[in-house]
Structure 1
């Protein structure tokens, strides 16, 4: 199905690995020109640049830490110079750690909030001058907000904050035709899964697959499908929503 995305311009944060990489590549294949960013250089960056070159289009991969206001401003400026506008912004960059709440250092609490919440805020606020009627802003959330997960209280709190930010911005900018939505993810199969020891990986896949209605983990391209729908005119009356892409996890 042609979603009418050819020629649209997108900014996707954290696009060189995992779900972000899947989103960037799917958008590029749909004819979207993409600016994306990474925090640390490495093979993942080189591989994404190579894949984007093979797909074709007008893309840019730059280094930026979304928790740093100056770096976010520079990132969005890259998009402004390259495209002049943005039709889609995807707040995908995120931080997570697994720490018992009683032992959670305030520095780690603040670090995760700085990336997941302040980072999204900085990207959206800087991107506002490039957004117009029909533009779509999507933030990657988590089903952890509904389920609650031990050792991730700080991470879960950031995703709950994103949901609240999303609702308020949808109301504030609805009259301008700019839409804001959250895509709440379950467990998605990414390269991090394959970095685990084989036995641990098999146990995790079995455990979380059994929790879903579909009996399997999600794939990055399935997350990308929801993003592309939210970027298209098919979702033009959808804003302030949290769309679950979780395989029916419970």
Structure 2
């Protein structure tokens, strides 16, 4: 099976850390030219730029706060100028917070909504004029949208809405050959685990390992592998789907 994406043009939002970073590198190594974005300067930005330079290709790491509609529009103008077209979009950028529902402010509700849902909508809408036929749009969702999680009503609401948006777009644009799918990620062990106190990280692993059929947490590269499949021709008859990448979590 050929997972080559040679010559493809891709945008990955929120691509300097965690799942996004793994996706950016996987696409670049498969031959795609990739634009990605970040909100704040960090060592992760510089290290990703180095890795992409070593990989080769026409890659760009740009700054942009996707909670700001103006910044989304600017990012897509940059994509068009630098890549000419888009064959793959991965809406990965997201925000999360843990707030008791009774204390959830409108400001925080709107921040999460703008970052997780409205930004994805605007990215797709601004990309339409230069989104190629047969393009693949992949929205990174969450298994939590199926089950709900206390203190994350705002977050799970956005991920559930992302499924509805994806399904509707799949039907509206199916005649063009463009495909829209969701990857519903389970608990993925990103570098955020390294930033936790060791006892907290151990507690998280102890809690979630028994809940998964595979008995472990996921890795960012395992989500990236599913993205590679959806980005290429091997998944050409898959659209409107929500595909769980969750280790069989219950």
Calculate the TM-score normalised by the size of structure 2: 0.98
Cα distance in 1 for residues equivalent to 2:210 and 2:146 = 18
Structure 2 residue 86 is matched with structure 1 residue 86: yes
CA distance in 2, matches of 1:4, 1:121: 28
Please state whether the residue corresponding to 1:134 is helix, strand or coil: strand
Structure 1 residue 4, shift from structure 2 partner: 3.0
- Over 2 Å off, 4+ runs: none
Within 1, Cα distance between the matches of 2:207 and 2:56? 39
Distance 2:154 2:48 in 1: 30
Secondary structure of the 1:135 match is strand
Quote how far apart the aligned CAs of 1:206 are.
Answer: 1.6
Distance between the aligned counterparts of 1:152 and 1:68, measured in 2? 22
Q: Encode CA deviations 1:37-66: one digit per residue, 9 max, x unaligned.
A: 000111111011011111111100000111
Matched, 1:214 2:220: no
Q: How far apart in 2 are the matches of 1:57 and 1:222? A: 23
Task: Using the TM superposition, name which of 128-137 and 172-181 deviates more.
Answer: 128-137
Structure 2 unaligned spans of 5+: none
Give, in angstroms, the shift of residue 74 of structure 1.
Answer: 1.2
Counterparts of 1:143-154 in structure 2 under 5 Å? 143-154=143-154
Say whether 1:177 aligns with 2:177.
yes
Alpha-carbon distance in structure 2 between the residues aligned to 1:202 and 1:109: 30
TM-score w.r.t. structure 1 length?
Answer: 0.98
The equivalent residue for 1:34 is 34
Indicate the SS of the match to 1:87: strand
Question: Aligned residue for 2:102?
Answer: 102
In structure 1, runs of 5+ residues without a counterpart are: none
Q: Is the 8 Å Cα contact of residues 98 and 152 (structure 1) preserved in structure 2?
A: yes
- Structure 2 counterpart SS, 1:141: strand
State the secondary structure of the residue aligned to 2:86. coil
1:109-129 C-alpha deviation (Å, 9 max, x unpaired): 110001001100110000111
**2:131 match:** 131
Aligned-partner Cα distance in 1 for 2:20–2:205? 21
RMSD: 0.8
Residue matched to 2:66? 66
d(CA) in 1 for partners of 2:4, 2:194:
35
Aligned length: 250
- Partner Cα distance (1:57, 1:132) in 2: 20
